[in-house]
């Protein structure tokens, strides 16, 4: 008898995450990493102070539950949500994985809309489920609400939406989410990934929160990796109805969050000043980048997040390589369903200048070879 592998687990993973700096480092060369949507200003100082304060206690197990973090979250949401409406995990992506494990398996389906974040189809497929792509439509990457509703069957468990969306940086306007939530049948949960919500300024942007407050079957996914600058700590959370959140928490193992992640996240929630500084920085820098992209006549999309999508004048992988020669890491996003595009994180002014100077050089060299 040979080992009975699960056939759907033999499929190769496409969601690998972006490269780290050390993978591309050349000695003596400065590298600007604009490929993973990290915070260019570093980490929340309050979180760093909490990490320093607790680093001496690592011989002890952390709290058995995440109750303190969930209480801090309820406080952060001004008491509109209760601690029992939260589920904390080792990152936002781990939360998506938990939700998929909780609701999906062989014979079930989910719906997502490309260009999108890979885990929405990777994780369901790793659970033997089927993920159905109903692509975003038009140059504004709007949801195809009708297409999604038509694709729903009695096997559908989850519908994923992301706003602001990775990798497009665009948002889904409130009227589309309203329509989707209103028309989704009761057996389907809307998983609303909002990990970049802090950066938005579009008037018709909406979060998962109002729908959860109405008691709808909606889960909001959040992360401490982005605006709080804690990607290395791996901590995230979701919120939903008490019924859904309690069901999800049942799947968690004890001591899931390590002590430093717990303390960092609790402290970060109090760091409004850092979030404000981060958001102001991103807004100033995106305006600076737009100007130059327009001068260079590069097709790009205005962003509601801390990154933007653009079409390079050559193949995205050639562009990635050429920009690396200029000391800048960017991210081709074919794996996200945007085959001729590249995603660029908004960095420090110095990093953004390096990107724009490098881009100008690459564009000129390329047009001279035509």
Binding site for ligand PLP (CB under 6 A): 37, 91-93, 117, 162, 166, 193, 195, 223, 225, 231, 236
**Between 8 and 15, CB nearer to ligand PLP:** 15
| CB-count burial class (<10 Å; 0-12, 13-18, 19+) for 45 | middle
User: Which helix (H) or strand (E) element contains residue 22?
Assistant: helix 21-24
Nearest to 46 by CA among 195, 226, 263, 232: 263
**Between 93 and 172, CB nearer to ligand PLP:** 93
CA distance 18 to 50: 28
Cβ neighbours of 255 (radius 10 Å):
13
CA distance 11 to 24: 27
Structure tokens given for 100: 């998929």
**Between 170 and 223, CB nearer to ligand PLP:** 223
CA–chain centroid gap for 283, Å, is 18
To ligand PLP, the closest distance from the beta carbon of 253 in angstroms equals 18
**Between 76 and 366, CB nearer to ligand PLP:** 76
CA distance 122 to 16: 10
Structure tokens given for 169: 């940086």
Structure tokens given for 62: 């952390």
To ligand PLP, the closest distance from the beta carbon of 256 in angstroms equals 14
To ligand PLP, the closest distance from the beta carbon of 184 in angstroms equals 20
Cβ neighbours of 246 (radius 10 Å):
13
To ligand PLP, the closest distance from the beta carbon of 110 in angstroms equals 15
**Between 98 and 195, CB nearer to ligand PLP:** 195
To ligand PLP, the closest distance from the beta carbon of 36 in angstroms equals 7
**Between 117 and 211, CB nearer to ligand PLP:** 117
**Between 313 and 331, CB nearer to ligand PLP:** 331
To ligand PLP, the closest distance from the beta carbon of 114 in angstroms equals 13
To ligand PLP, the closest distance from the beta carbon of 84 in angstroms equals 22
CA distance 88 to 76: 14
Nearest to 358 by CA among 331, 321, 305, 303: 321
């Amino acid at each position: 008898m040979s080992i009975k592998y699960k056939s759907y687990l033999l499929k190769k993973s496409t969601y690998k995450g972006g490269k780290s700096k050390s993978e591309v480092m050349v000695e003596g060369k400065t590298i600007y990493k604009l490929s993973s949507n990290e915070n260019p200003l570093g980490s929340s100082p309050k979180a760093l102070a909490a990490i320093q304060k607790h680093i001496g206690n690592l011989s002890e197990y952390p709290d058995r539950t995440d109750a303190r973090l969930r209480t801090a979250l309820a406080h952060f949401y001004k008491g509109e949500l209760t601690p029992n409406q939260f589920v904390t995990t080792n990152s936002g992506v781990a939360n998506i994985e938990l939700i998929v494990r909780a609701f999906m398996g062989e014979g079930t389906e989910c719906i997502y809309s490309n260009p999108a974040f890979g885990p929405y189809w990777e994780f369901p497929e790793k659970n033997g489920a089927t993920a159905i792509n109903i692509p975003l439509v038009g140059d504004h990457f709007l949801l195809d609400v009708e297409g999604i509703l038509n694709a729903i069957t009695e096997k559908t468990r989850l519908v994923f939406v992301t706003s602001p969306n990775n990798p497009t940086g665009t948002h889904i306007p409130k009227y589309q989410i309203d329509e989707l939530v209103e028309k989704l049948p009761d057996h389907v949960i809307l998983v609303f990934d909002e990990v970049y919500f802090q950066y938005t300024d579009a008037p018709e942007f909406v979060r998962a929160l109002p729908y959860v407050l109405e008691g709808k079957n909606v889960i909001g996914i959040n992360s401490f990796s982005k605006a709080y600058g804690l990607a290395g700590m791996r901590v995230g959370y979701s919120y939903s109805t008490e019924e859904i959140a309690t069901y999800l928490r049942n799947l968690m193992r004890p001591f899931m969050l390590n002590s430093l992640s717990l303390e960092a996240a609790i402290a970060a929630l109090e760091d409004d000043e850092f979030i404000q500084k981060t958001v102001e920085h991103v807004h100033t820098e995106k305006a600076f980048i737009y100007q130059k992209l327009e001068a260079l006549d590069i097709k790009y999309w205005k962003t509601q997040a801390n990154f933007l999508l653009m079409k390079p004048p050559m193949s995205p992988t050639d562009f990635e390589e050429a920009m690396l020669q200029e000391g800048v890491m960017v991210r081709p996003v074919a794996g996200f369903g945007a085959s001729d595009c590249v995603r660029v994180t908004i960095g420090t002014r110095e990093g953004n200048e390096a990107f724009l100077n490098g881009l100008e050089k690459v564009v000129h060299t390329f047009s001279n070879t035509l």
